[in-house]
Amino acid sequence: MESMDKVIDTIMDKKKGYDYDGDDFAAPTELTVTITLHEYRELVENNSYRRKDVERLREKCEELKKENRELKESFKNKETPADINAILVALKATEGKKE
């Protein structure tokens, strides 16, 4: 009788959501899928690549946010960013060479 109670408890826990820790147990009415080891490895590999891409994009986003804040601050202070100064110097140098 205890094992039937445990099965019922497990089924009820699974119905609450997939964050249930006992995912190694298939409830009697639960739909299951069988995959090969190769398919499992592909899933794990793709998930790993996706996580790396997400992390790389988050880092890039933070860099751009930081650059945006710096540019806004320099605009408020009416300073010309150093990159623009470098571009202006390069343009003046190339104009002098054309003549």
10-56, pLDDT tens digit by residue?
Answer: 777 766 666 556 556 666 677 788 899 999 999 999 999 999 999 99
Higher local confidence (pLDDT), 53 or 95? 53
Tokens, residue 53: 């891409």
Same domain, yes or no: 28 and 47: no
Q: CA dihedral defined by 49, 50, 52, 53, rounded to 10 degrees?
A: 120
Residue-range definition of the domain harbouring residue 61: 36-99
27 and 61 inside one domain? no
Handedness of CA 40, 35, 11, 25 (dihedral sign): negative
The answer to whether residues 19 and 54 belong to one domain is: no
- The structure tokens 């003046």 sit at 92
Higher pLDDT, 72 or 29: 72
Distance from first CA to last CA of the chain, Å, rounded? 98
Alpha-carbon distance 73 to 55, whole Å? 27
